[in-house]
Chains A and B, each alone.
Chain A
Amino acid sequence: MRAAEEAGAEKDPQSQLYLKLAQENLDKGKVRMEADDNEIADRALRKAEADGELARGIARSKRAQAEADDARKTLTKIKPVE
């Protein structure tokens, strides 16, 4: 989840959603661990991990697309020599 946040997951609505789901699953896992319900806790934590990875992946893809857009915009700034 920290990696997802560092990738900017909180700035993009889609990755923000998965980050939220990851947080919920993480919280659920912790609660279940405290209740010694380790099997459910394990499932919740595995789901949290998958959500976190996806949040990070989506955030990275958005950032990469933004950088590509910037590069294309920069390209249009070249003025032809007359």
Chain B
Amino acid sequence: MKASQLNKKLVPSIALLALGAQLIGCATVPPPKELTEARQSYERAQGGSAVKLAPAALDTAKQALQKAERIFRDQEDSPETRALGYIADRKARLAEAMAAIAQADADKLAAENEFKDKSTSELDKARNALQAGGQKLAASERARQEAEKARLEAEKARKEAERIASAALASLKEMASVKEEARGVVITLSGGVLFASGKSDLLSIAKEKLNEVYKVLKDQNHPKLRIEGHTDSVGSAEENRKLSLARADSVKAQLVSQGYPGDRIKTVGLGPDRPVTDNTSAEGRANNRRVEIIVNPKD
């Protein structure tokens, strides 16, 4: 407790005690029980929160006590002194009750204000959370829509690729035999169409055909190729192998001349080693003289 507060408390108490002492000095008999109780009650009230919270009620109590003290001074222990002491005691207690009311009202108001503030704060939080949730939902929906769009575009691209591949296959089938085998898609070009007998130089018509083949393969992003040269069984097998390799190389050179990446093409000369039919007839030998282009070979 600060000195100033202590003084505020002590000064009225001291004044009251001085008054009491003066009265005691004047009176020859002790104060009645009612007056003693009134003094104690007033002391208690005056030392409590009534000073701040119920000053009017405390002042009323003070006046009641002073009145009782005056009568005590004049009449000593009379019925009126006792009655006024009794009443002064009640007034002091009432001042305490009034202070308690004021304190409770202030507490209630503070709690209500805090309730209002907290409610508003929590409401704001809930509102913000709801808004954030809504934004997340919107972002999630946007992401879903973008994913769906990407999926549709990929599907479209896949169908387009299939369409191109299908068209390419159809186009190839018009100029050459095209088969899907275990080793890959095999494009077979007849040797009679591509080369003069015993030569490895491409005929003009063969170059045109190969240029068409190039366009189809270019549309499929230049897949890896294996070009195999084949011959019939007429003549030396070794010579035929050399000839078939030279022919495969000629086919490769033509494709490369159009822009096909050379490192994507492998050539082999198999000579008479893998006939597609027997070599006893002229037709059979013609069929065996061929160049095969294997697209995306498996080996």
Contact = CB atoms under 8 A, between A and B. Distances in A.
Contacts of B125: 80-81
Contacts of A35: none
B91 A71 contact: no
Given A43-B80, A75-B115, A67 B108 contact: yes
B259 interface: no
A64 B108 contact: yes
Interface string A12-54: 0000001000000000000000000000100100110011011
A15 B104 CA distance: 17
Interface stretch (B93-101, B171-179, B207-215): B93-101
B115 A78 contact: yes
Contacts of A54: 90, 93-94, 97
B97 A71 contact: no
Nearest to B79: A43
Chain B interface extent, by class: 20 to 34
B107 A78 contact: no
A50 B86 CA distance: 8
Interface of B: prevailing SS:
helix
Given A53-B90, A58-B97, A65-B100, A74 B122 contact: no
Given A57-B97, A72-B111, A43 B83 contact: yes
Interface of A: prevailing SS:
helix
Contact of A47 (B87, B98, B119): B87
Interface string A68-79: 100110110011
A74 B80 CA distance: 50
Contact of B115 (A18, A40, A65, A74): A74
B94 A57 contact: yes
A43 B71 CA distance: 14
A28 to B, nearest CB: 12
B112 interface: yes
A74 B90 contact: no
A50 B98 CA distance: 14
Contacts of A58: 93, 97
A67 B86 contact: no
Contacts of A75: 111, 114-115, 118
B111 A71 contact: yes
A64 B105 contact: yes
Nearest to A58: B97
Contacts of B80: 43
B115 A71 contact: yes
A42 B234 CA distance: 157
A16 to B, nearest CB: 14
A81 to B, nearest CB: 4
Nearest to B95: A57
Given A43-B79, A54-B90, A64 B100 contact: yes
**7 closest A-B pairs by CB:** A64-B104, A71-B111, A57-B97, A50-B90, A61-B100, A68-B107, A68-B108
Interface of B: 79-80, 83, 86-87, 90-91, 93-94, 97-98, 100-101, 104-105, 107-108, 111-112, 114-115, 118-119, 122, 125-126, 129
